């Protein structure tokens, strides 16, 4: 297909290169965006700061890293050939296999030629005169693009904790979200892990098998459900493949979280104690995230939630032999599921090992890190290596790292100082032609990410095709639409138990970050319908024009 005259006319003038669209990031979102836009004949450049494609699966190589959504569902659906061909080996694919899949996709769809690796996007500036973006990259070049798509990922800005003495530690320090590419081996070492979120819960059992001694520093206990990971049989794979049309349809349209699963039709308090316990036992035996689908009100009603939380606390007490350790591992400060629920293989049982110690930082906080130890209030815990499983500046962190200036030179960072504001999680008013994939205000991290990624990419690609057919060059969210959407996102969140937890969904893990529930909780099916309706009504809530429109209202 040929490049599009209406979109590329303005992009020829300045800069080292001119594109119809620049995509930031070559993870699952960036790769599919490239595929779709190139399929429309657009000239596209993808910049990726990593040394290869794969995004989160390129960086998160810590021991035990694997997806907590089943592999047959955590995969692209846009190509039936691809989903029929690819052989996932396990129920939950390990990181290396997902990365291999990402590389396979890049090769199979010949994406690499348009992806520039090892290149960070430092700055993006909207030129109101020409209605184009100037994109400055770490190689010192400036590209011009009509559209910019941020495919930067929700959990890609690893967060180093601000702990006194950290830089003085003499041994190796690792962050789970930025793991080295060379093999790591903790054999014979005394290892400390700080943090007990999903990344720690996956890595602790594996590190414990290698290390001479492992000390886990826990600030907040988390709920975790056994993964029950296993090799996939040929029959299981075939059953999925046969039923993919319905599985994918259900995940997109009916599931709240983009995962095909049996949905509950009753609340936890509608059943008596014995029936309820039997249902939780069945879900525990099956394993995985769908534990929270035992009943339809677990995340809405605290009394219902208490029954599920109590069940999991009981399981922890059954598994962990030392009653003191079991008690520390039992979460008691947030409803189950109000923080991202974890999925593990032998996490709680690991604390029965003689070489594993749990330190409860609530009662015994870290004072400082010494060259050879972590000092807590009660004493020193000697270690040779330190693993920081301390999470990410989620959802906004990777966007905020880029210096993005929109209309009138206003930066996105300034605009989002009180919390992210978007219309549908897709665009932010004052930043024309800048799209965000799975941005704050969309279901994103509350869903199977690939389902949400595909929906956003398709919506953006269709939107650009709509504009092209009509000779339109600029799209921008209106302030009214954005304000209404932000209010709606908050209103829906407040109807649930989610805001009760100090979670990264709320920005609560970053000191000073505004506490706002960032993802849209209405469910992927409802959200998709809203996005489709907006498009069907001629992109209601957006202004489209042939050149940069004068904003109707002052910037918020
Ligand atoms: P996380 O859930 O944010 O957990 C970070 C942990 O570090 C928390 O336990 C936190 O304690 C602790 N922490 C942070 N700063 C600390 C400090 N200064 N001192 C002591 N403890 C500190 O991060 P994550 O485990 O990397 O997971 C993030 C998200 O990534 C997950 O929720 C999930 O969505 C995704 N993920 C998915 C998978 C998967 O698919 N299997 C695997 C890993 C991650 P507090 O809770 O007290 O703040």
What is residue 496's DSSP assignment? S
Which residue owns the Cα nearest ligand 1 atom 23?
A: 391
CB 507 within 8 A of CB 493: no
The answer to pTM > 0.75 is yes
Q: Is 197 in the pocket of ligand 1 (CB under 6 A)?
A: yes
Q: Of all helices (H) and strands (E), which one includes residue 211?
A: none
Ligand 1, atom 17, lies closest to the CA of 161
Does ligand 1 have an atom closer than 6 angstroms to the CB of 361?
Answer: yes
As a whole number of angstroms, the distance between CA 366 and CA 340 comes to 25
Residue 64, by phi and psi: left (phi above 0), alpha (psi -120 to 50) or beta?
left
Mode of pairing for the β-strands spanning 115-116 and 44-47:
parallel
Instruction: Give the β-pairing of 17-24 and 44-47.
Output: parallel
Given ligand 1 and candidates 161, 199, 328, which is best to mutate, with the most ligand atoms within 8 Å of its CB?
A: 199
Distance CA 434, CA 378 (A): 51
Ligand 1 atom 43: the closest Cα is on which residue? 199
Whether 163 is in the pocket of ligand 1, judged by its Cβ within 6 Å, is: yes
d(CA 519, CA 442): 5
Q: Is the pLDDT of residue 239 over 70?
A: yes
What is the Å distance from ligand 1's center to 92 Cα?
A: 19
How far, in Å, are 37, 54, 150, 229 from residue 32 at the CA level?
Answer: 9, 11, 13, 28
* Closest to 124 (Cα-Cα) out of 464, 543, 395, 413: 413
CA distance 124 to 405: 6
Ligand 1 pocket mutation, candidates 391, 393, 501, 510, criterion most atoms within 8 A of CB:
391
- Least-confidence region, from 86-90, 153-157, 198-202, 427-431: 153-157
pLDDT-derived band at 4 (thresholds 50, 70, 90) equals very low
pLDDT for 89:
97
What distance in angstroms lies between residue 96's CA and the mean position of ligand 1's atoms? 21
Confidence of residue 549 (pLDDT cuts 50, 70, 90): low
Query: Does position 9 have pLDDT exceeding 80, yes or no?
Result: no
Q: What is the DSSP letter of 113?
A: G
Give mean pLDDT, residues 165-187: 96
User: Residue 485 pLDDT > 50, yes or no?
Assistant: yes
Helix (H) or strand (E) holding 133: strand 132-137
The pLDDT of residue 555 = 39
- d(C-alpha 421, C-alpha 262), whole Å: 34
pLDDT at 397: 85
pLDDT of residue 548: 58
161 lines ligand 1 (CB under 6 A): yes
Task: Check pocket membership of 202 for ligand 1, CB cut-off 6 A.
Answer: yes
Q: What DSSP letter does each residue of 256-325 carry, written as one string? A: SSS---PPP-S-GGGS-HHHHHHHHHHHHHH-SGGGGGSSTTTTT-HHHHHHHHHHHHHHHHHH-SSHHH
């Amino acid at each position: 297909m040929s490049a599009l005259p209406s979109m590329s006319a303005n992009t020829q003038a300045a800069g080292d290169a001119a594109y119809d669209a620049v995509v930031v990031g070559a993870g699952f979102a960036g790769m599919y965006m490239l595929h779709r836009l190139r399929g429309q004949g657009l000239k596209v450049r993808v910049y990726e700061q990593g040394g290869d494609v794969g995004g989160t699966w390129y960086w998160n190589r810590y021991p035990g890293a694997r997806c907590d959504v089943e592999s047959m569902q955590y995969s692209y659906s846009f190509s039936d050939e691809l989903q029929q061909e690819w052989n996932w080996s396990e129920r939950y694919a390990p990181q290396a296999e997902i990365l291999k899949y990402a590389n396979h996709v890049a090769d199979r769809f010949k994406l690499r030629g348009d992806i520039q690796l090892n290149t960070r996007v430092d700055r993006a500036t909207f030129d109101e005169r020409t209605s184009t973006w100037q994109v400055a990259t770490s190689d010192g070049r400036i590209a011009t693009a009509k559209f910019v798509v941020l495919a930067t990922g929700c959990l890609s800005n690893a967060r180093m904790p601000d702990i006194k003495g950290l830089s003085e530690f003499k041994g190796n320090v690792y962050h789970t979200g930025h793991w080295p590419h060379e093999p790591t081996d903790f054999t014979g070492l005394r290892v400390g892990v700080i943090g007990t979120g999903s990344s720690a819960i996956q890595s602790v059992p594996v590190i414990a098998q290698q290390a001479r001694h492992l000390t886990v520093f826990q600030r907040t206990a988390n709920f975790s459900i056994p993964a029950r990971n296993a090799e996939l049989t040929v029959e299981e794979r075939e059953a999925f493949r046969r039923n993919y049309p319905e599985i994918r349809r259900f995940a997109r349209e009916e599931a709240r979280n983009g995962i095909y699963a049996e949905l509950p039709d009753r609340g936890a308090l509608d059943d008596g104690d014995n029936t309820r316990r039997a249902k939780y036992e069945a879900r525990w035996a099956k394993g995985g995230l769908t534990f929270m689908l035992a009943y339809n009100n677990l995340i809405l009603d605290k009394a219902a939630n208490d029954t599920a939380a109590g069940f999991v606390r009981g399981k922890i007490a059954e598994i962990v032999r030392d009653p003191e350790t079991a008690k520390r591992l039992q979460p008691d400060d947030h409803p189950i599921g109000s923080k991202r629920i974890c999925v593990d293989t032998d996490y709680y049982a690991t604390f029965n090992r003689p070489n594993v110690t749990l330190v409860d930082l609530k009662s015994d906080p870290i004072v400082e890190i010494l060259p050879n130890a972590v000092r807590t209030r009660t004493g020193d815990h000697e270690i040779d290596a330190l693993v920081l499983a301390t999470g990410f500046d989620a959802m906004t962190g990777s966007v905020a790292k880029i210096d993005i200036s929109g209309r009138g030179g206003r930066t996105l960072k300034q605009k989002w100082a009180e919390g992210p504001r978007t219309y549908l999680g897709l665009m932010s008013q004052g930043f024309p032609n800048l799209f965000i994939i799975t941005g704050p205000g969309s279901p994103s991290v509350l869903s199977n990410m690939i389902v949400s990624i595909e929906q956003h990419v398709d919506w953006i690609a269709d939107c650009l095709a709509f504009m092209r057919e009509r000779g339109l060059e600029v799209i921008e969210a209106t302030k009214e639409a954005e304000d209404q959407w932000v209010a709606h996102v908050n209103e829906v969140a407040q109807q649930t138990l989610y805001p009760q937890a100090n979670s990264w969904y709320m920005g609560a893990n970053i000191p000073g970050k505004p506490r706002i529930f960032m993802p849209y909780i209405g469910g992927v099916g409802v959200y998709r319908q809203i996005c489709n309706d907006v498009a069907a009504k001629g992109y209601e809530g957006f202004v489209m024009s042939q050149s940069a429109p004068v904003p109707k209202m002052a910037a918020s």
